[in-house]
Every structure is written in structure tokens, then in C-alpha cells.
Structure 1
Amino acid sequence: MTVEEYLYYIILPILAISVLLVFCRFVIGPKIADRVVALDLLITIGITIISIYSIVYDQSTFLDIAMILGLIAFLSTVAFSYYLEKRNKSKLDEEKRKHNND
């Protein structure tokens, strides 16, 4: 069995199963932080699938797409983290103001 066959017949089905499991976490996730992490993991699995197809079909342009997708995933995770931090900080400030007014 060559490396390409190994990647195609063994690794891709495992990645497909992991996509289903992570998507369930994305839908069920009780908090927005769980959903952000699940979305980041989905994008990472997508990058892995794109990279495997790049190796199997010998197309280096797919790797460029995977790199751009990785950059977008990183920036979106940073943006969500910034949003969550600001949201939590504003809630704490509001609770402090309520407590001081009482």
C-alpha cells in the first residue's frame, strides 16, 4: 500500500467521522466558547482534508488554499476571543454598578 492509498482509504474516512462528531459539538455546545472551538476544529479538519487531496492528486495549489483558510481561521478565532472578553468585561462592569447602587 502506497502512502497515497493509505491517506485516501484510511485517513479520509477517519477525518469524515471526526467532522461529524465535531459538528455535533458545534450544534449542541451550550456556550459560545464551545462553538468557537468546534468551528476552529472543523476548519482545521477541512485544512487537513484539503492537504490530503493536494498530496493524492499532486496539486500544489490546494496547499495555497489551505494556507489561506488557516489564516482566516486564526483571525476569526482571535476576533471571537476579543468579542467574548469584551462581553464578559461589560457584564462584570454592569454587575459592579448594580452592586454599588444598592
Structure 2
Amino acid sequence: MKETILLIALTLFMISIAILLYRVIAGPTLPDRAIALDTIGVNLISAIAIISIMLQTKAFLEAILILGILSFIGTIAFSKFIERGVIVERKGDS
């Protein structure tokens, strides 16, 4: 029963990622694309956690942490780009 529920959840996460990938490609605005990318990161973390539970291993915990950090940094960089037009400001740029 537990395996069936986990498999259904994993399937729903994969469907959600596919729908969000469409939103990244055909999103009407840049903030919509940024939110879709952030949500894809969260769904990937959840899917990896479900796979880790199904395989009964802790080997994927490092991948979850790294993906979470990279997703957070990517979201911050994308939001700075949307707000200012640049990600890293230099002293010579005005």
C-alpha cells in the first residue's frame, strides 16, 4: 500500500514538472518563468525524497541539499535580473 501511494505521488510530481516546463518555455512574462523554475526545483527535491524512501536509502540526502541550495541561488539570481537587468554589479558600471 505504501509503495503504491509513493508511486502515485512520484507520478503526480513528474506530471507537475512537465506542466511547469511548458510554463517555463511559453510563459507570458519573465516572473512567471522564474516562479515555474523555482517550483520545478521544489518538485525535483520532493521526487528525489520519494525515490529515497522507496529505495530505503539515505544516499540521496546530499543531492537533495545541493539541489535545494542551487535552486535557491538560481531564484535569487533570476529575481535580481528581473529587478535590475543585471545579476552582478561592478563598480565601473553605472
- Is TM more than 0.5 here? yes
SS in 2 for 1:77: helix
SS in 2 for 1:25: helix
Cα RMSD (Å): 1.2
TM-score by length of 2: 0.82
- How many equivalent residue pairs? 85
Which ranges of structure 1 fall in alignment gaps of 5 or more residues?
88-102
SS in 1 for 2:28: coil
Which ranges of structure 2 fall in alignment gaps of 5 or more residues?
86-94
Partner residue, 2:91: none
Q: Which whole-Å deviations, capped at 9, do the CAs of 1:43-74 have from their partners, x for residues lacking one?
A: 11111110001011012121210111001100
Distance (whole Å) between structure 2 residues aligned to residue 30 and residue 6 of structure 1: 35
Selected match of 2:22 from 7, 21, 24: 24
Selected match of 1:47 from 41, 45, 48: 45
**Deviating runs (4+, > 4 A) in structure 1?**
none
Larger radius of gyration: 1
Distance (whole Å) between structure 2 residues aligned to residue 51 and residue 16 of structure 1: 13
Calculate percent identity across the aligned residue pairs: 36
Larger RCO, structures 1/2 (Cα 8 Å, 6+ apart): 2
Partner residue, 1:64: 62
Partner residue, 1:7: 6
Partner residue, 2:32: 34
Distance (whole Å) between structure 1 residues aligned to residue 3 and residue 72 of structure 2: 29
SS in 1 for 2:83: helix
TM-score by length of 1: 0.76
